[in-house]
Protein backbone atom coordinates (compact mmCIF):
# COMPACT_ATOMS: atom_id res chain seq x y z
CA UNK A 1 0.00 0.00 0.00
CA UNK A 2 1.73 3.15 -1.21
CA UNK A 3 -0.89 5.77 -0.50
CA UNK A 4 -0.59 6.62 3.17
CA UNK A 5 -1.27 10.23 4.06
CA UNK A 6 0.63 12.24 6.69
CA UNK A 7 -1.92 11.20 9.32
CA UNK A 8 -1.46 7.49 8.68
CA UNK A 9 -4.68 7.00 6.73
CA UNK A 10 -4.58 4.58 3.80
CA UNK A 11 -6.25 5.98 0.68
CA UNK A 12 -8.09 3.19 -1.09
CA UNK A 13 -11.20 4.89 -2.43
CA UNK A 14 -11.75 7.47 -5.21
CA UNK A 15 -14.85 9.55 -5.78
CA UNK A 16 -14.76 10.11 -9.51
CA UNK A 17 -16.80 13.05 -10.78
CA UNK A 18 -17.54 12.55 -14.47
CA UNK A 19 -19.39 15.83 -14.90
CA UNK A 20 -20.16 18.96 -12.90
CA UNK A 21 -23.53 19.28 -14.68
CA UNK A 22 -26.78 18.18 -13.18
CA UNK A 23 -30.37 17.89 -14.36
CA UNK A 24 -31.64 19.02 -10.93
CA UNK A 25 -31.02 22.19 -8.94
CA UNK A 26 -31.39 21.08 -5.31
CA UNK A 27 -31.48 24.39 -3.46
CA UNK A 28 -28.75 23.36 -1.00
CA UNK A 29 -26.41 22.24 -3.79
CA UNK A 30 -26.59 24.24 -7.05
CA UNK A 31 -28.16 27.70 -7.52
CA UNK A 32 -31.25 27.99 -9.68
CA UNK A 33 -30.27 29.06 -13.20
CA UNK A 34 -26.62 28.16 -12.62
CA UNK A 35 -24.82 27.67 -15.94
CA UNK A 36 -21.15 28.30 -15.24
CA UNK A 37 -20.09 24.74 -15.95
CA UNK A 38 -16.70 23.40 -16.92
CA UNK A 39 -15.77 23.71 -20.62
CA UNK A 40 -16.07 20.38 -22.49
CA UNK A 41 -12.42 20.79 -23.59
CA UNK A 42 -11.49 20.61 -19.94
CA UNK A 43 -13.36 17.39 -19.24
CA UNK A 44 -11.06 14.45 -18.81
CA UNK A 45 -11.71 11.99 -21.61
CA UNK A 46 -12.63 8.39 -20.78
CA UNK A 47 -9.06 7.40 -21.72
CA UNK A 48 -7.61 10.03 -19.38
CA UNK A 49 -9.90 9.04 -16.54
CA UNK A 50 -9.10 5.36 -16.97
CA UNK A 51 -5.39 6.15 -17.00
CA UNK A 52 -5.57 8.02 -13.70
CA UNK A 53 -7.71 5.33 -12.10
CA UNK A 54 -5.34 2.63 -13.32
CA UNK A 55 -2.41 4.49 -11.77
CA UNK A 56 -4.31 4.84 -8.51
CA UNK A 57 -5.26 1.17 -8.57
CA UNK A 58 -1.60 0.20 -8.94
CA UNK A 59 -0.97 2.23 -5.79
CA UNK A 60 -3.60 0.44 -3.72
CA UNK A 61 -6.94 2.03 -4.59
CA UNK A 62 -9.56 -0.66 -5.12
CA UNK A 63 -12.87 1.14 -4.73
CA UNK A 64 -14.33 3.71 -7.11
CA UNK A 65 -17.60 5.60 -6.89
CA UNK A 66 -18.74 7.40 -10.04
CA UNK A 67 -20.49 10.63 -9.18
CA UNK A 68 -20.92 14.23 -10.28
CA UNK A 69 -22.84 16.52 -10.88
CA UNK A 70 -25.20 13.91 -12.20
CA UNK A 71 -23.19 11.08 -13.75
CA UNK A 72 -26.04 9.94 -15.99
CA UNK A 73 -25.89 13.21 -17.93
CA UNK A 74 -22.41 12.30 -19.18
CA UNK A 75 -22.82 10.47 -22.50
CA UNK A 76 -21.96 6.77 -22.62
CA UNK A 77 -21.29 6.56 -18.91
CA UNK A 78 -21.75 2.78 -18.95
CA UNK A 79 -18.84 2.53 -21.40
CA UNK A 80 -16.59 4.30 -18.90
CA UNK A 81 -17.89 2.14 -16.06
CA UNK A 82 -17.05 -1.00 -17.99
CA UNK A 83 -13.51 0.21 -18.70
CA UNK A 84 -12.95 0.95 -15.02
CA UNK A 85 -14.47 -2.31 -13.85
CA UNK A 86 -12.07 -4.19 -16.10
CA UNK A 87 -9.00 -2.75 -14.40
CA UNK A 88 -7.52 -5.75 -12.61
CA UNK A 89 -7.31 -4.28 -9.11
CA UNK A 90 -10.66 -2.54 -8.94
CA UNK A 91 -12.86 -4.64 -6.65
CA UNK A 92 -15.80 -2.35 -6.08
CA UNK A 93 -17.38 0.06 -8.55
CA UNK A 94 -20.45 2.01 -7.47
CA UNK A 95 -22.41 5.02 -8.70
CA UNK A 96 -24.35 7.87 -7.10
CA UNK A 97 -27.29 9.28 -9.01
CA UNK A 98 -30.41 11.35 -8.58
CA UNK A 99 -32.15 8.59 -10.59
CA UNK A 100 -34.00 11.02 -12.88
CA UNK A 101 -32.60 9.14 -15.89
CA UNK A 102 -31.98 5.83 -14.18
CA UNK A 103 -34.93 3.99 -15.73
CA UNK A 104 -33.24 3.95 -19.11
CA UNK A 105 -29.71 3.35 -17.80
CA UNK A 106 -30.19 0.73 -15.09
CA UNK A 107 -29.70 -2.36 -17.27
CA UNK A 108 -26.62 -0.93 -18.99
CA UNK A 109 -25.07 0.05 -15.67
CA UNK A 110 -25.63 -3.45 -14.35
CA UNK A 111 -24.08 -4.92 -17.50
CA UNK A 112 -21.12 -2.55 -17.03
CA UNK A 113 -20.39 -4.18 -13.65
CA UNK A 114 -21.53 -1.36 -11.40
CA UNK A 115 -22.12 -3.30 -8.22
CA UNK A 116 -23.92 -0.79 -6.03
CA UNK A 117 -26.12 2.25 -6.54
CA UNK A 118 -26.81 5.19 -4.25
CA UNK A 119 -29.85 7.28 -5.11
CA UNK A 120 -30.42 10.75 -3.69
CA UNK A 121 -34.02 11.33 -2.69
CA UNK A 122 -35.08 14.00 -0.22
CA UNK A 123 -38.86 13.74 -0.42
CA UNK A 124 -41.63 11.33 -1.40
CA UNK A 125 -44.05 14.18 -1.91
CA UNK A 126 -44.08 15.17 -5.59
CA UNK A 127 -44.71 18.87 -5.00
CA UNK A 128 -42.12 19.13 -2.30
CA UNK A 129 -39.60 17.15 -4.36
CA UNK A 130 -40.20 19.57 -7.20
CA UNK A 131 -39.58 22.54 -4.88
CA UNK A 132 -36.41 21.13 -3.29
CA UNK A 133 -34.91 20.21 -6.65
CA UNK A 134 -36.17 23.28 -8.53
CA UNK A 135 -38.19 21.38 -11.09
CA UNK A 136 -37.50 17.67 -10.57
CA UNK A 137 -40.20 15.08 -11.27
CA UNK A 138 -40.59 12.53 -8.50
CA UNK A 139 -42.24 9.94 -10.75
CA UNK A 140 -39.06 9.69 -12.84
CA UNK A 141 -36.99 9.00 -9.74
CA UNK A 142 -39.42 6.35 -8.53
CA UNK A 143 -39.35 4.74 -11.99
CA UNK A 144 -35.55 4.83 -11.82
CA UNK A 145 -35.54 3.15 -8.42
CA UNK A 146 -37.87 0.41 -9.61
CA UNK A 147 -35.75 -0.13 -12.72
CA UNK A 148 -32.67 -0.48 -10.51
CA UNK A 149 -34.39 -3.15 -8.47
CA UNK A 150 -35.56 -4.87 -11.61
CA UNK A 151 -32.02 -4.83 -13.02
CA UNK A 152 -30.85 -6.68 -9.91
CA UNK A 153 -29.08 -3.94 -7.97
CA UNK A 154 -28.94 -4.86 -4.31
CA UNK A 155 -28.68 -3.03 -2.04
CA UNK A 156 -29.95 0.24 -3.48
CA UNK A 157 -29.16 2.92 -0.92
CA UNK A 158 -31.33 5.99 -0.68
CA UNK A 159 -29.53 9.11 0.49
CA UNK A 160 -31.76 11.70 2.11
CA UNK A 161 -30.33 15.06 3.18
CA UNK A 162 -32.45 15.72 6.23
CA UNK A 163 -33.43 19.35 6.75
CA UNK A 164 -35.46 21.05 9.45
CA UNK A 165 -38.70 22.55 8.13
CA UNK A 166 -37.99 21.10 4.70
CA UNK A 167 -38.38 17.32 4.94
CA UNK A 168 -37.91 16.33 8.60
CA UNK A 169 -41.57 15.31 8.79
CA UNK A 170 -40.83 12.55 6.25
CA UNK A 171 -38.48 10.43 8.33
CA UNK A 172 -41.03 7.74 9.02
CA UNK A 173 -42.60 7.72 5.57
CA UNK A 174 -39.14 7.26 4.07
CA UNK A 175 -38.44 4.43 6.53
CA UNK A 176 -41.70 2.70 5.53
CA UNK A 177 -40.99 3.24 1.82
CA UNK A 178 -37.56 1.63 2.19
CA UNK A 179 -38.92 -1.30 4.21
CA UNK A 180 -41.57 -1.88 1.55
CA UNK A 181 -39.12 -1.84 -1.35
CA UNK A 182 -36.06 -3.41 0.27
CA UNK A 183 -33.90 -0.30 -0.04
CA UNK A 184 -31.27 0.84 2.48
CA UNK A 185 -31.81 4.32 3.88
CA UNK A 186 -29.14 6.84 4.82
CA UNK A 187 -29.71 10.19 6.40
CA UNK A 188 -27.14 12.94 5.74
CA UNK A 189 -26.46 16.18 7.58
CA UNK A 190 -26.40 19.40 5.55
CA UNK A 191 -22.89 20.71 4.96
CA UNK A 192 -21.82 24.34 4.35
CA UNK A 193 -20.45 23.68 0.88
CA UNK A 194 -20.74 26.65 -1.48
CA UNK A 195 -23.15 29.53 -0.83
CA UNK A 196 -26.03 27.16 -1.44
CA UNK A 197 -24.93 24.75 1.28
CA UNK A 198 -24.24 27.63 3.67
CA UNK A 199 -27.67 29.15 3.02
CA UNK A 200 -29.18 25.79 3.93
CA UNK A 201 -27.33 25.69 7.27
CA UNK A 202 -30.39 27.06 9.06
CA UNK A 203 -32.08 23.77 8.16
CA UNK A 204 -29.33 21.72 9.79
CA UNK A 205 -30.45 18.81 11.97
CA UNK A 206 -28.16 16.83 14.28
CA UNK A 207 -28.95 13.24 13.30
CA UNK A 208 -28.64 12.07 16.90
CA UNK A 209 -32.11 13.56 17.34
CA UNK A 210 -33.42 11.42 14.51
CA UNK A 211 -32.01 8.28 16.12
CA UNK A 212 -33.86 9.20 19.30
CA UNK A 213 -37.04 9.89 17.36
CA UNK A 214 -36.82 6.54 15.55
CA UNK A 215 -36.05 4.62 18.73
CA UNK A 216 -39.41 5.74 20.15
CA UNK A 217 -41.22 3.94 17.36
CA UNK A 218 -38.88 1.11 16.35
CA UNK A 219 -36.45 -1.27 18.06
CA UNK A 220 -33.03 -0.37 16.67
CA UNK A 221 -30.02 -2.66 16.78
CA UNK A 222 -26.43 -1.88 15.66
CA UNK A 223 -25.65 -3.08 12.17
CA UNK A 224 -22.87 -3.09 9.57
CA UNK A 225 -23.18 -2.60 5.81
CA UNK A 226 -20.71 -3.22 3.03
CA UNK A 227 -19.32 -0.03 1.52
CA UNK A 228 -16.39 2.32 1.73
CA UNK A 229 -18.25 4.99 3.59
CA UNK A 230 -18.57 6.56 6.99
CA UNK A 231 -22.24 5.82 7.73
CA UNK A 232 -23.04 4.29 11.11
CA UNK A 233 -25.84 1.78 10.68
CA UNK A 234 -28.76 0.70 12.79
CA UNK A 235 -31.21 -2.00 11.84
CA UNK A 236 -34.93 -1.91 12.51
CA UNK A 237 -35.67 -5.16 14.33
CA UNK A 238 -38.07 -7.46 12.53
CA UNK A 239 -37.30 -5.89 9.14
CA UNK A 240 -34.43 -5.99 6.64
CA UNK A 241 -34.02 -2.23 6.82
CA UNK A 242 -30.60 -0.82 7.62
CA UNK A 243 -30.52 2.90 8.32
CA UNK A 244 -27.24 4.76 7.97
CA UNK A 245 -26.43 8.06 9.64
CA UNK A 246 -23.84 10.24 7.92
CA UNK A 247 -22.83 12.94 10.36
CA UNK A 248 -20.05 15.10 8.92
CA UNK A 249 -21.00 17.97 11.21
CA UNK A 250 -22.22 16.54 14.52
CA UNK A 251 -19.67 13.70 14.68
CA UNK A 252 -17.09 14.05 11.96
CA UNK A 253 -15.24 10.96 10.78
CA UNK A 254 -12.12 12.57 9.29
CA UNK A 255 -9.79 10.28 11.24
CA UNK A 256 -11.02 7.33 9.17
CA UNK A 257 -11.19 9.17 5.83
CA UNK A 258 -9.93 6.81 3.13
CA UNK A 259 -10.76 8.79 0.00
CA UNK A 260 -9.84 11.57 -2.41
CA UNK A 261 -11.89 13.10 -5.20
CA UNK A 262 -11.09 13.49 -8.89
CA UNK A 263 -13.16 16.20 -10.57
CA UNK A 264 -14.22 16.27 -14.22
CA UNK A 265 -11.50 18.80 -15.09
CA UNK A 266 -8.79 16.57 -13.68
CA UNK A 267 -8.31 18.27 -10.32
CA UNK A 268 -7.62 15.97 -7.43
CA UNK A 269 -9.27 17.30 -4.27
CA UNK A 270 -7.80 15.88 -1.11
CA UNK A 271 -10.73 16.81 1.14
CA UNK A 272 -14.37 17.74 0.52
CA UNK A 273 -14.10 20.55 3.06
CA UNK A 274 -10.71 22.06 2.18
CA UNK A 275 -9.04 23.57 -0.89
CA UNK A 276 -5.94 21.37 -1.02
CA UNK A 277 -5.67 20.02 -4.54
CA UNK A 278 -3.46 18.86 -7.35
CA UNK A 279 -4.18 19.80 -10.96
CA UNK A 280 -3.57 16.73 -13.11
CA UNK A 281 -5.01 17.67 -16.52
CA UNK A 282 -2.01 19.60 -17.90
CA UNK A 283 0.32 16.81 -16.80
CA UNK A 284 -1.81 14.23 -18.58
CA UNK A 285 -2.01 16.34 -21.72
CA UNK A 286 1.72 17.06 -21.73
CA UNK A 287 2.48 13.35 -21.85
CA UNK A 288 3.51 12.51 -18.30
CA UNK A 289 4.90 8.95 -18.04
CA UNK A 290 3.08 6.27 -16.05
CA UNK A 291 5.78 6.22 -13.40
CA UNK A 292 5.84 10.03 -13.07
CA UNK A 293 2.04 10.01 -12.81
CA UNK A 294 2.21 7.53 -9.93
CA UNK A 295 4.95 9.56 -8.23
CA UNK A 296 2.75 12.65 -8.60
CA UNK A 297 -0.23 10.88 -7.01
CA UNK A 298 1.91 9.75 -4.10
CA UNK A 299 3.06 13.36 -3.58
CA UNK A 300 -0.53 14.58 -3.81
CA UNK A 301 -1.62 12.31 -0.97
CA UNK A 302 0.96 14.06 1.22
CA UNK A 303 -1.21 17.18 0.83
CA UNK A 304 -4.29 15.59 2.39
CA UNK A 305 -5.38 17.75 5.32
CA UNK A 306 -6.18 16.27 8.68
CA UNK A 307 -9.83 17.28 8.71
CA UNK A 308 -12.52 19.51 7.32
CA UNK A 309 -13.43 22.65 9.24
CA UNK A 310 -17.12 22.92 8.39
CA UNK A 311 -17.92 24.03 11.92
CA UNK A 312 -14.87 26.22 12.60
CA UNK A 313 -14.74 27.90 9.16
CA UNK A 314 -18.10 27.38 7.44
CA UNK A 315 -17.24 30.08 4.88
CA UNK A 316 -14.26 28.12 3.63
CA UNK A 317 -15.53 25.97 0.74
CA UNK A 318 -16.58 28.23 -2.12
CA UNK A 319 -17.02 25.54 -4.75
CA UNK A 320 -20.34 23.76 -5.05
CA UNK A 321 -20.62 20.07 -4.19
CA UNK A 322 -21.21 19.25 -7.86
CA UNK A 323 -17.79 20.65 -8.78
CA UNK A 324 -15.86 18.51 -6.34
CA UNK A 325 -17.95 15.39 -6.80
CA UNK A 326 -20.45 14.52 -4.11
Contact residues: ligand SAM, CB under 6 A:
22, 26, 28-29, 67-68, 70, 96-98, 120, 159, 161, 188, 190-191, 193, 197, 321-322, 326
Give the strand pairing for 116-120 and 259-262: unpaired
Which CB sits closer to ligand SAM, 52 or 158? 158
Q: Which is nearer to ligand SAM, 57 or 98 (CB)?
A: 98
DSSP strands (E only) in the chain: 13-17, 63-67, 92-97, 116-120, 156-161, 184-188, 220-223, 232-236, 242-246, 259-262, 267-269, 277-279
CA 50 from chain centre, in angstroms, equals 19
CA atoms within 13 A on the CB side of 278: 22
Nearer to ligand SAM, 57 or 67 (CB): 67
* 121 in Cβ contact with 141 (< 8 Å): yes
Q: 55 or 73, CB closer to ligand SAM?
A: 73
By C-alpha distance, which of 278, 252, 301 is closest to 8? 301
Closer Cβ to ligand SAM, 12 or 70, answer by number? 70
Q: How far is the CB of 59 from ligand SAM (least distance, A)?
A: 25
Residues contacting 294, CB < 8 A, separation 6+ = 2, 55, 58, 59
* Residue nearest ligand SAM by beta-carbon distance: 326
Question: Are 32 and 136 spatial neighbours (Cβ–Cβ below 8 Å)?
Answer: no
Q: Nearer to ligand SAM by C-beta: 24 or 55?
A: 24
Shortest distance, CB of residue 27 to ligand SAM, whole angstroms?
Answer: 10
Cβ closest to ligand SAM, residue 22 vs residue 257:
22
Q: Minimum Å distance from CB 6 to ligand SAM?
A: 27
Task: Supply the minimum distance, in Å, between the C-beta of residue 296 and ligand SAM.
Answer: 26
149 phi and psi angles, rounded to 5 deg = -60, -45
CB of 137 to ligand SAM, least distance (A): 14
Q: Under a CB-based contact definition with an 8 Å cutoff, are residues 258 and 11 in contact?
A: yes
**Smallest separation, CB 189 to ligand SAM (Å):** 7
- CA atoms within 13 A of residue 240's CA, in its CB half-sphere: 12
How far apart are CB 165 and ligand SAM at their closest, in Å?
16
Amino acid sequence: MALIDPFGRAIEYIRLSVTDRCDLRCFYCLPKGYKDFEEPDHWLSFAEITRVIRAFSELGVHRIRITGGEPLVRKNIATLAKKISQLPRIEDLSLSTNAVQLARHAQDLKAANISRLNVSLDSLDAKRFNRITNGGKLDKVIAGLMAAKQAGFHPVKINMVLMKDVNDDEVESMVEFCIKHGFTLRFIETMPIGDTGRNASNHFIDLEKIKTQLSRKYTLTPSVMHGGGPAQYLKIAGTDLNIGFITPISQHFCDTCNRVRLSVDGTLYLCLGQSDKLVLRPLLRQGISDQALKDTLIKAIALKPEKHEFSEKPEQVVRFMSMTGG
